[in-house]
């Protein structure tokens, strides 16, 4: 196959959007992991619940503008996250990682099957008018929804940088992520911060779901793969480094796009997970150095 | 002390939830249109619908029918679809056949071989059903075949499309399994010729499951033989994939047409992105690209599915009346699995049982098996009549989408085909 | 000395279990019962092998189904293409899976804790995806079918017995559970088990008493891999079909529920969890399929798992022994 | 190099049991130890002191193989052990305790001791699997030793309790007993008197002196100056990763550099 620049640019763009998508999903998870030290195996399922929320809101009898719906999904997902934190995470927060992992795996089973019981196994689509509006700058056709994802992802990452470095709450979170015990000693209420972090992670996940599901569909077992890809990104990014996880997500998007496009789709996940497992062996501390914390 | 109390409270909560789990089945909630009907209709058939037979007679022995279907896991939508069709069929039968009330027994095979063995064991040994309806995953069917043989209970299968099965049933060794759906090889021959008559090259894309992969194994070698080159072959996890990279690749291969083998939901997502990228090739499909559910999922923009040519069996176009009844009952569109479930029950199992009763014989699994083997029923999709490999040759149909609606193009007679080598 | 008294106690439960399991078919020989019993045996072996790693050395490996799947595929090749007997298949599978576990262990034990769990999960997914895509090797999503069933050739017999009835499978399978229990007890109730505990609780401290943690982790991992590989080999010959879904994550989920709800790292816990959660699903299905939708069942298991983690971190076994202890205490006071 | 220490002629001073030569250890550019030399003679009681963060525990970890120093050597009985694994070093006869008391909480008190002994009894893994007869003998021996040590530290009545149920002081005693269990030549204690009451401090001091009389060598990190002065024959002082003084307790007390390091100017 001859090299075609247009095709290459298309793959690049696809990789970029896929990466943006993965990193938006990863962001919520890496925040809670970094600040609270909990690996939430039910994170993808929270995304799924947010997706169904979007589905219900779009199919209400009153038609709301999309922006309002996005805001509602963000708020509701943050609320779900808070409920989950209070009921299941809060009581075990001081226990071992093993307890964290198994509890959240249990949560994941509950959420997936509750969704199955309520919504049946049929995937639901949540198209918006934006996902069918296509523009073609420079001859590359792309839907407005996808562009919005790219722009919002960039804004969210920039926002997180500002938040962590320049707000009091952000600085506190950063401090906790770097040294939990010391923070407890100096009187920071780490439990309250944990709750806030969960809410923030939920809000970002809600935003991600509200933007991304219109391009795809939402179904009960979709969370597993999202959780696993996010976890892989977090590990590759250096266990809890927010920026590292974002870069790793972008890398996975690029690998999938280029390997799938030029070699084989059947093996694209094999390759992206293969890279992840290799990184574990060669650099267990992650690809981007071992700076601790946010 | 406080700890013990907590444990106690927890146990009470779990127990009450266990009880609560029964509740939705016992008291059907007012059906929310989008929610699947699940057990509600089953209950309805059993409790609310009195047998149509003369009420003065003493109740006759029930007919026990087992469902060996994937009800959870990745293929749950298949099992649910089957069940919806079966439940509708039973409702239309009035909940009974000649006064014998119909009882349904579920067994979840999760679409996996191991659980399929468990499921058939349960149906045969515990529920002691007289006949089973199965379908969904070919691997599950293959694993359950020894148990079906050993349990000596007939099973009617709607959509295990793996050609291997053909060689193992009927004279192939297992007289208890019957297929009303044709397999990939039988369908593939006709459709490959049809495609090759129209285009010179094809890009193949499929769901990454038994359905898509199984079709790939047939079409990728058959198409070149019919005269159309296959330029790429790719599979995707149903639902998850961002198809854009694949679409970009298809664009770069420059194939004349795309052959999609996907179920309804993946196809809707795929086609949406297909249009986004601006591809204009002819789209051939096999599976769920012109179904009611597909059109439902793309109703915001009917242009998405416009002009797709699809080859399928059990399509609503071939029995529009049934499609209407189905929509009325569930407020959902029919799919080929929902269709297959209905046909397996209404046009296969029910006539066989009637035949047994008409002959004045006992309703034993063996008698039902013989009756199924002897069936010759005319339906909207052709005769249900089994050959010596227990295969019925229902008709295939060609359909397309026009203005967001399925349009019936043509029927295709399917013929027996040599299965050696599979 | 009290040590001898203590060393007897762990044998009581497994012996009772084995006696019950060996005698049960005398009372009920339906294919369903036997199939449930076969499943109990299968899950118990799986859970015990999983517990060697997750419970005893504390490395929660979410990749154990890899050994199961590869063992099964290997058997399809050995039995189907090379005509190797059933026992031979199991032994060869066990050997190669132990070898694979050693190699994988050398790589994966460089990482720890939750990273280890995530890494092994990643490896499990890669393996499943490869099995799904490498159609020439595994049949892909269409599965490998037609694995021959075992044939038993006993001395003084003219021709081999073809194992096809559930009861034959069951009694051929049961000794494998006995072997697993013996291995499990021999390892965990000995000095090696003490070293396992040391490694699980504190690797630094373990090094400081002369224990090389990696060595013990490898021993546990290889043993677990061998047992699970043999189990996969067995299952392939029982079901005759092997699919990539046989390595799916819900197997790991079931193992986690059995081991951690029952009580990780304790034989009685694994037995309690394994028996309950391999009998409950088919029982609920068979008795209450009208009422118990599979989705509700799964929700229930999820709730139990979360609830146990929140309120009974020792699992059902811990709860049982606490109740027993209290009961005994009351009786002693009364006397 | 090794020749130096093999002079076993009478009259010549015995070679040191442990010798540390020019150890340097850095963490992310921060120098924790810089070119430190020190030695411990057989049968001696040596204390390693210094303000917080002066590198005492780092030195412990370098000797016992938990850290890999960037420069320098550690010699034990004249043989280099610098880059050996911790478990190998233990088997050569150096045991240690930890600053933040490490025991195995779910093992019984007796098993905590037994597990400290077992690795020394048989080093070959294969032997452990196939040589069951020997194992039983080893096990009896291990229990015997453990019982006598429990008597020594006064924990006999707790023998079958889970170690998790011990209070802090008892845990320290157990850890101490574990360090004695495999009959080592050099015992390294990291703050044996920290966090326990005065009675326990006295018990600890007595234990150390008693065991030392039986010929065991001690290297101790300790903050409690009273204890250090009472039990040490020689004291080594670290500050900012460098050795600033060494000598008998009385000399160290007078040393101006030590006073400066501890109390500032």
What part of A 136-165 touches B (C-beta under 8 Å)? 136, 141-143, 146
Q: Which of A271-275, B412-416, D94-98 has the highest mean pLDDT?
A: D94-98
Q: For residue A251, give Cα distances in angstroms to A47, A188, A236, A261.
A: 21, 36, 10, 15
Joined tokens for residue D131: 């040589």
> What mean pLDDT comes out for the span B51-66?
69
Task: Tell me the per-residue pLDDT of C100-155, one tens digit each, with 9 for 90 and over.
Answer: 999 999 988 988 888 889 889 989 988 998 898 888 888 887 788 888 888 887 77
Pick from A96, A241, A228: which is nearest to A174 by CA? Answer: A241
Query: Is B253 in Cβ contact with A1 (below 8 Å)?
Result: yes
Pick from A15, A252, A269: which is nearest to C133 by CA? Answer: A269
Task: Tell me the per-residue pLDDT of A234-255, one tens digit each, with 9 for 90 and over.
Answer: 888 887 788 889 999 999 999 9
Interface test with A, best of C59, C122, C252, C305 (most A CBs within 10 A): C122
Determine contact, residues C130/C223, Cβ cutoff 8 Å: no
On whether both D93 and D42 belong to a single domain, the answer is: yes
Residue B42's pLDDT band, with cuts at 50, 70 and 90, is very low
CA atoms within 13 A on the CB side of C223: 31
Alpha-carbon distance of C103 to C97, in angstroms, equals 10
Query: Is B36 in Cβ contact with A21 (below 8 Å)?
Result: no
Assess if residue B297 is contained within a domain. yes
**C204 min Cα distance to partner chain B (Å):** 33
pLDDT (0 to 100) of residue C206: 92
Alpha-carbon distance of C145 to C243, in angstroms, equals 9
Interface test with A, best of B36, B239, B242, B331 (most A CBs within 10 A): B242
* Percentage of residues of chain B with pLDDT beyond 90: 21
Report pTM. Answer: 0.85
Assess if residue A154 is contained within a domain. yes
On whether both B288 and B404 belong to a single domain, the answer is: yes
On whether both B66 and B171 belong to a single domain, the answer is: yes
Task: Tell me the per-residue pLDDT of D89-108, one tens digit each, with 9 for 90 and over.
Answer: 998 889 999 988 899 998 99
* B49 pLDDT more than 70: no
CA atoms within 13 A on the CB side of B133: 35
Could you tell me the residue range of the domain that residue B402 belongs to? 184-313+397-412
* A133–B contact, CB cutoff 8 A: no
Alpha-carbon distance of B134 to A67, in angstroms, equals 46
Interface test with C, best of A113, A120, A223, A281 (most C CBs within 10 A): A113
Q: For residue B122, give Cα distances in angstroms to A15, A276, B125, B148, B224.
A: 48, 42, 5, 11, 45
Alpha-carbon distance of A227 to A48, in angstroms, equals 11
**D58 min Cα distance to partner chain C (Å):** 14
* Percentage of residues of chain B with pLDDT beyond 70: 84
pLDDT (0 to 100) of residue D188: 94
Query: Is A121 in Cβ contact with B76 (below 8 Å)?
Result: yes
Query: Is D103 in Cβ contact with C205 (below 8 Å)?
Result: yes
Joined tokens for residue B296: 């439902």
On whether both D138 and D64 belong to a single domain, the answer is: no
Residue B26's pLDDT band, with cuts at 50, 70 and 90, is very low
On whether both D110 and D83 belong to a single domain, the answer is: no
**Nearest residue on chain A to C248, alpha-carbon basis:** A224
Q: Mark out chain A residues that contact chain C at CB-CB < 8 A.
A: 39, 88, 91-92, 95, 97-103, 105-110, 112-114, 116-117, 224, 228, 231-232, 234-235, 239, 266-267, 269-270, 273-274, 276-277, 280-281, 284
Residue A114's pLDDT band, with cuts at 50, 70 and 90, is very high
Assess if residue B31 is contained within a domain. no
> What mean pLDDT comes out for the span B265-269?
83
On whether both D141 and D46 belong to a single domain, the answer is: no
On whether both D124 and D193 belong to a single domain, the answer is: no
pLDDT (0 to 100) of residue B57: 57
Could you tell me the residue range of the domain that residue C35 belongs to? 2-334
On whether both D203 and D251 belong to a single domain, the answer is: yes
* Percentage of residues of chain C with pLDDT beyond 90: 41
Q: For residue D226, give Cα distances in angstroms to A183, D97, D172, D201.
A: 33, 20, 19, 10
Q: Which residue is associated with the tokens 């989920």?
A: C253
DSSP code, position C150: P
What is the interface pTM, i.e. ipTM, of the complex? 0.82
Could you tell me the residue range of the domain that residue A105 belongs to? 27-222
Joined tokens for residue B261: 């083998």
On whether both B362 and B338 belong to a single domain, the answer is: yes
Could you tell me the residue range of the domain that residue D145 belongs to? 106-165
**Residue B139: how many other CB atoms lie within 10 Å:** 31
Query: Is A228 in Cβ contact with C306 (below 8 Å)?
Result: no
Q: How many beta-carbon contacts under 8 Å exist across A and B?
A: 127
- Please, which residues have CB within 8 angstroms of residue A238's CB and are 6 or more apart in sequence? A244, A245, A285, A286, A287, A288, A289, A290, A291
Assess if residue B124 is contained within a domain. yes
Residue C112 φ/ψ region, left for φ over 0, alpha for ψ in the -120 to 50 degree band, beta for the rest: beta
On whether both B47 and B152 belong to a single domain, the answer is: yes
Q: Which of C103-117, D3-17, D129-143 has the highest mean pLDDT?
A: C103-117
> What mean pLDDT comes out for the span A19-41?
89
Alpha-carbon distance of D107 to D178, in angstroms, equals 13
Q: How far apart, in Å, do the first and last CA atoms of chain B sit? A: 66
Q: Which of A124-128, A153-157, A289-293, C24-28 has the highest mean pLDDT?
A: A153-157
Query: Is A102 in Cβ contact with C305 (below 8 Å)?
Result: yes
Instruction: Give the total number of structural domains in chain D.
Output: 2
Residue length of chain D: 265
Alpha-carbon distance of A161 to C131, in angstroms, equals 41
Q: Is B287 helix (H, G, I), strand (E, B) or coil?
A: strand
Q: Mark out chain B residues that contact chain A at CB-CB < 8 A.
A: 24, 34-36, 38, 72-74, 76-77, 79-80, 208, 234-237, 239-240, 242, 244-246, 248-249, 251-253, 265-266, 268-269, 272-273, 275-278, 293, 297-298, 300-301, 304
pLDDT (0 to 100) of residue B138: 81
- Chain A residues within 8 A of B251 when measuring between CB atoms: 7, 10
Instruction: Give the total number of structural domains in chain A.
Output: 1
On whether both B93 and B188 belong to a single domain, the answer is: no
**Cα A236 to chain center, whole Å?**
15
Determine contact, residues A20/A190, Cβ cutoff 8 Å: no
**Nearest residue on chain C to B237, alpha-carbon basis:** C129
Longest dimension (CA), chain D: 65
**Residue B20: how many other CB atoms lie within 10 Å:** 13
Alpha-carbon distance of A239 to B165, in angstroms, equals 48
Where residue B174 sits, what CATH number does that domain have? 3.40.50.2300
**Nearest residue on chain D to C219, alpha-carbon basis:** D125
Assess if residue A292 is contained within a domain. no
Task: Tell me the per-residue pLDDT of B218-230, one tens digit each, with 9 for 90 and over.
Answer: 899 889 988 899 9
**Nearest residue on chain C to D66, alpha-carbon basis:** C204
Determine contact, residues D219/D46, Cβ cutoff 8 Å: yes
On whether both B237 and B360 belong to a single domain, the answer is: no
Determine contact, residues B54/B99, Cβ cutoff 8 Å: yes
Determine contact, residues C328/A133, Cβ cutoff 8 Å: no
* A233 pLDDT more than 50: yes
Assess if residue B289 is contained within a domain. yes
Residue A291's pLDDT band, with cuts at 50, 70 and 90, is low
Tell me which of C4 and C301 has the higher pLDDT.
C301
**Residue A58: how many other CB atoms lie within 10 Å:** 20
Q: Which residue is associated with the tokens 């019993």?
A: C37
On whether both D75 and D193 belong to a single domain, the answer is: yes
Residue A253 φ/ψ region, left for φ over 0, alpha for ψ in the -120 to 50 degree band, beta for the rest: alpha
Alpha-carbon distance of A164 to A174, in angstroms, equals 7
On whether both D148 and D87 belong to a single domain, the answer is: no
- Chain C residues within 8 A of D120 when measuring between CB atoms: 210
On whether both D121 and D173 belong to a single domain, the answer is: no
Pick from B260, B302, B312: which is nearest to B281 by CA? Answer: B260
Alpha-carbon distance of D64 to C270, in angstroms, equals 38
- Chain A residues within 8 A of B235 when measuring between CB atoms: 265-266
Of C118, C126, C293, the CB nearest to A235: C118
Alpha-carbon distance of B85 to D192, in angstroms, equals 76
Determine contact, residues A110/A206, Cβ cutoff 8 Å: no
* B14 pLDDT more than 70: no
pLDDT (0 to 100) of residue B6: 54
Joined tokens for residue B248: 């970009």
Residue ending a domain, among D114, D141, D165, is D165
For the stretch A122-160, what's the b/e string if a residue is b when 16 or more beta carbons lie within 10 angstroms of its beta carbon? bbbbbbbebbbeeeeeeebebbebbebbbebbeebbeeb
Residue B10's pLDDT band, with cuts at 50, 70 and 90, is low
Task: Tell me the per-residue pLDDT of B289-323, one tens digit each, with 9 for 90 and over.
Answer: 888 888 888 888 888 888 899 988 776 667 888 88
Alpha-carbon distance of D60 to D97, in angstroms, equals 10
Instruction: Give the total number of structural domains in chain B.
Output: 2
Pick from B84, D175, B16, D21: which is nearest to C202 by CA? Answer: D175
On whether both D159 and D234 belong to a single domain, the answer is: no
């Amino acid at each position: 196959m001859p090299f075609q620049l247009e095709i290459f640019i298309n793959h690049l763009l696809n990789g970029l959007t896929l990466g943006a998508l993965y990193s938006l999903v990863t962001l919520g998870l890496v925040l809670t992991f970094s600040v609270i030290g909990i690996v939430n195996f039910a994170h993808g399922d929270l995304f799924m619940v947010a997706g169904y929320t979007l589905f219900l809101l779009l199919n209400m009898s009153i038609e709301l503008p999309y922006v309002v719906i996005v805001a509602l999904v963000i708020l509701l997902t943050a609320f779900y996250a808070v409920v989950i934190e209070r009921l299941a995470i809060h009581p075990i927060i001081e226990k071992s990682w093993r307890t964290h992992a198994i509890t959240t795996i249990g949560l994941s089973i509950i959420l997936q099957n509750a969704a199955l019981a309520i919504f049946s196994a049929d995937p639901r689509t949540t198209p918006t008018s934006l996902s069918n509006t296509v523009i073609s700058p420079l001859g590359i056709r792309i839907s407005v929804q996808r562009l919005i994802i790219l722009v919002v992802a960039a804004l969210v990452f920039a926002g997180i940088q500002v938040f962590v470095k320049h707000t009091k709450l952000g600085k506190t979170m950063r401090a906790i992520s770097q040294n939990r015990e010391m923070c407890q000693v100096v009187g920071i209420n780490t439990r309250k911060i944990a709750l806030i972090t969960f809410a923030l992670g939920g809000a970002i996940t809600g935003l991600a779901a509200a933007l991304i599901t219109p391009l795809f569909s939402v179904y009960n077992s979709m969370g597993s793969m999202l959780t696993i890809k996010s976890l892989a990104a977090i590990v590759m990014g250096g266990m809890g480094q927010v920026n590292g996880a974002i870069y790793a997500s972008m890398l996975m998007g690029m690998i999938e796009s280029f390997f799938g496009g030029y070699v084989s789709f059947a093996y694209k996940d094999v390759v992206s997970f293969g890279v992840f497992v290799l990184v574990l062996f060669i650099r267990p501390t992650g690809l981007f150095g071992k700076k601790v914390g946010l | 002390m406080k700890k013990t109390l907590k444990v106690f409270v927890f146990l009470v909560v779990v127990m009450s939830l266990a009880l609560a789990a029964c509740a939705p089945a016992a008291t059907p909630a007012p059906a929310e249109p989008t929610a699947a009907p699940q057990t509600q209709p089953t209950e309805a058939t059993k409790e609310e619908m009195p047998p149509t037979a003369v009420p003065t007679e003493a109740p006759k022995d029930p007919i026990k029918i087992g469902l060996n279907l994937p009800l959870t896991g990745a293929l749950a939508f298949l099992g649910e679809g089957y069940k919806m069709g079966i439940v509708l069929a039973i409702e239309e039968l009035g909940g009974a056949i000649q006064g014998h009330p119909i009882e349904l027994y579920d067994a979840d095979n999760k679409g996996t071989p191991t659980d399929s063995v468990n499921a058939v064991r349960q149906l045969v040994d515990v529920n002691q059903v007289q006949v089973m309806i199965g379908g969904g995953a070919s691997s599950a069917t293959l694993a359950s075949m020894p148990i079906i043989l050993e349990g000596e209970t007939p099973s009617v299968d709607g959509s295990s499309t793996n050609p291997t099965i053909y060689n193992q049933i009927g004279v192939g060794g297992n007289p208890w399994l019957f297929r009303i759906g044709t397999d990939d090889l039988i369908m593939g021959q006709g459709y490959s010729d049809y495609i090759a008559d129209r285009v010179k090259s094809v890009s193949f894309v499929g769901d990454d499951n038994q359905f898509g992969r199984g079709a790939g194994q047939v079409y990728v070698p058959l198409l070149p033989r019919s005269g159309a080159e296959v330029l790429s072959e790719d599979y995707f996890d149903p639902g998850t994939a961002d198809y854009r990279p694949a679409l970009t690749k298809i664009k770069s291969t420059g194939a004349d047409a795309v052959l999609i083998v996907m179920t309804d939901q993946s196809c809707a997502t795929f086609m949406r992105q297909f249009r986004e990228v601006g591809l204009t090739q002819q789209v051939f499909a096999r599976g769920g690209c012109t179904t009611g559910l597909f059109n439902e999922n793309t109703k915001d923009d009917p242009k998405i599915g416009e002009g797709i040519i699809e080859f399928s069996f059990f399509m609503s176009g071939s029995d529009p009346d049934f499609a209407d009844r189905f929509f009325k009952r569930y407020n959902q569109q029919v799919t080929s699995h929902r269709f297959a479930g209905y046909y397996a029950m209404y046009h296969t199992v029910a006539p066989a049982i009637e035949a047994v009763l008409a002959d004045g014989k006992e309703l034993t699994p063996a008698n039902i098996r013989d009756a199924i083997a002897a069936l010759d029923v005319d339906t909207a999709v052709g005769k249900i009549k089994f050959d010596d490999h227990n295969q019925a040759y229902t008709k295939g149909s060609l359909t397309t989408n026009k203005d967001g609606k399925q349009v019936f193009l043509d029927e295709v007679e399917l013929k027996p085909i040599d299965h050696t080598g599979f | 000395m009290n040590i001898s008294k203590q060393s007897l106690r762990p044998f009581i439960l497994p012996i009772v279990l084995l006696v019950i399991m060996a005698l049960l078919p005398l009372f009920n020989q339906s294919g369903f019962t036997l199939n449930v019993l076969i499943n109990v045996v299968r899950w118990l072996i799986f859970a015990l092998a999983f517990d060697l790693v997750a419970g005893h050395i504390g490395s929660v490996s979410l990749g154990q189904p890899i050994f199961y799947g590869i063992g099964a595929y290997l058997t399809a090749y050995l039995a189907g293409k090379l005509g190797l007997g059933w026992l031979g298949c199991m032994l060869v599978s066990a050997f190669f899976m132990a070898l694979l576990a050693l190699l994988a262990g050398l790589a994966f034990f460089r990482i720890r804790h939750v990273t280890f769990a995530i890494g092994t999960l990643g490896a499990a997914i890669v393996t499943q995806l490869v099995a799904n895509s490498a159609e020439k090797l595994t049949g892909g999503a269409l599965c490998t079918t037609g694995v021959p069933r075992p044939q038993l050739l006993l001395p003084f017999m003219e021709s081999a017995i073809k194992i096809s009835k559930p009861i034959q499978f069951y009694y051929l399978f049961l000794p494998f559970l006995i072997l697993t229990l013996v291995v499990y007890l021999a390892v965990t109730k000995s000095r090696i088990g003490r070293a396992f505990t040391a490694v699980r609780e504190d690797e630094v401290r373990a090094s400081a008493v002369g224990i090389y943690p990696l060595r013990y982790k490898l021993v546990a991992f290889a043993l677990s891999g061998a047992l699970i590989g043999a189990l996969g080999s067995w299952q392939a010959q029982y079901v005759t079909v092997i699919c990539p879904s046989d390595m799916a994550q819900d197997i790991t989920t079931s193992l986690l529920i059995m081991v951690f709800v029952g009580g990780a790292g304790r034989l009685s816990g694994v037995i309690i969890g394994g028996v309950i959660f391999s009998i409950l699903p088919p029982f609920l299905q068979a008795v209450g399929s009208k009422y118990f939708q599979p989705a509700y069942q799964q929700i229930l298991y999820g709730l139990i798992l979360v609830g146990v983690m929140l309120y009974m971190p020792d699992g059902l076994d811990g709860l049982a022994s606490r109740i027993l202890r209290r009961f005994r205490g009351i009786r002693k006071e009364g006397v | 190099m090794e020749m130096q220490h093999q002079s076993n002629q009478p009259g010549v001073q015995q070679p040191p049991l442990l010798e540390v030569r020019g150890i340097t250890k850095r963490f992310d550019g921060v120098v924790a130890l810089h070119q430190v030399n020190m030695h411990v003679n057989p049968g001696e009681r040596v204390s390693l002191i210094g303000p917080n963060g002066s590198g005492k525990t780092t030195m412990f970890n370098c000797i016992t193989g938990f850290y890999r120093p960037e420069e320098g050597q550690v010699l034990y009985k004249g043989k280099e052990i610098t880059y050996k694994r911790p478990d190998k070093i233990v088997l050569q006869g150096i045991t240690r305790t930890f600053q933040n008391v490490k025991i195995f909480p779910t093992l019984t008190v007796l098993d905590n001791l037994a597990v400290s002994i077992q690795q020394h009894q048989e080093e070959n893994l294969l032997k452990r699997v196939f040589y069951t007869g020997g194992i039983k003998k080893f096990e009896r021996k291990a229990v015997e030793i453990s019982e006598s040590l429990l008597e020594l530290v006064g924990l006999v009545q707790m023998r079958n309790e889970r170690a998790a149920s011990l209070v802090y002081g008892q845990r320290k005693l157990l850890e101490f007993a574990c360090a004695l269990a495999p009959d080592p030549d050099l015992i390294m204690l990291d703050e044996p008197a920290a966090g326990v009451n005065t009675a326990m401090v006295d018990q600890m001091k007595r234990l150390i002196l008693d065991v030392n009389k039986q010929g065991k060598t001690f290297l101790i990190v300790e903050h409690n100056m009273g204890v250090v002065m009472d039990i040490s024959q020689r004291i080594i002082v670290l500050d900012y990763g460098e050795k600033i003084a060494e000598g008998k307790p009385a000399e160290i007390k007078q040393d101006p550099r030590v006073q400066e390091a501890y109390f500032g100017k």
